[in-house]
């Protein structure tokens, strides 16, 4: 585990320079494959940040509220976005430290945590008790419900303090947004 402190801050508490630094970290960590919609998805919630000795962000993740329809009920979901560690700072426990803080936010404020994992990030989440969702994944689009079969197998869920997961026989239907829905 990293001994680097992790700061929690709402998007509204971050200055323009900090947001620019986070955007740069994310572009670097994702090899340039992190666009404007991806950054927009990471805003409006709580950010967990670990900084280097020069004040530059080394690791980031955020949790934003999403509504998820499951078995006829709208659940308050803490959706994890933009988890990344600067390439030169990897394998020091920073990703786990960021996730620990985000999980604490989810435990206090949400019924369920969810995220869409890259192949590279999947081991981090699985090692932290996040579970691949075994049911259908979809979204409530402006034209009605649409299945997101390509997200099945890479969408992870987590419940606070080991609570029971929702029934996978019923799908998870996420609220709609621009860009990648999940």
Mean pLDDT, consecutive 10-residue stretches, the chain (182 aa), reads 86 97 96 94 98 94 97 96 96 96 97 95 95 96 95 95 88 94 92
Give me the CATH topology for the region 6-175. Aminopeptidase (3.40.630)
Contacting residues for 91 by C-beta, under 8 A, at least 6 apart: none
Q: How far is CA 177 from each of CA 95, 141, 142, 180, rounded to the nearest angstrom?
A: 26, 8, 10, 7
Q: How far is CA 42 from each of CA 1, 143, 144, rounded to the nearest angstrom?
A: 24, 25, 25
- One DSSP character per residue, 17-74 reads HHHHHHHHHHHHHTTT---HHHHHHT-SSEEEEEE-TTS-EEEEEEEEEEEEEETTEE
User: Do 157 and 133 contact (CB within 8 A), yes or no?
Assistant: yes
| pLDDT score recorded for residue 4 | 82
Backbone φ and ψ for 76, nearest 5 degrees, come out as -80, 110
């Amino acid at each position: 585990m990293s001994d680097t402190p992790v700061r929690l801050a709402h998007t509204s508490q971050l200055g323009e320079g900090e947001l620019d630094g986070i955007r740069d970290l994310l572009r670097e960590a994702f090899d340039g494959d992190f666009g404007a919609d991806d950054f927009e998805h990471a805003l409006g919630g709580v950010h967990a940040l670990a900084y280097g000795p020069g004040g530059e962000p080394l690791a980031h993740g955020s949790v934003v509220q999403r509504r998820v329809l499951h078995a006829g009920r709208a659940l308050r979901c803490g959706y994890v976005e933009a988890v990344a560690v600067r390439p030169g700072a990897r394998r020091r426990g920073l990703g786990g430290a960021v996730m620990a803080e985000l999980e604490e936010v989810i435990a206090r404020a949400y019924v369920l945590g969810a995220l869409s994992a890259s192949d590279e990030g999947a081991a981090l989440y699985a090692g932290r008790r996040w579970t691949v969702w075994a049911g259908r994944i979809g979204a409530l689009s402006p034209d009605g419900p649409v299945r997101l079969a390509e997200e099945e197998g890479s969408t992870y869920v987590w419940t606070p303090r080991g609570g029971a997961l929702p029934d996978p026989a019923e799908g998870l239907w996420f609220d709609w947004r621009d860009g990648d829905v999940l």
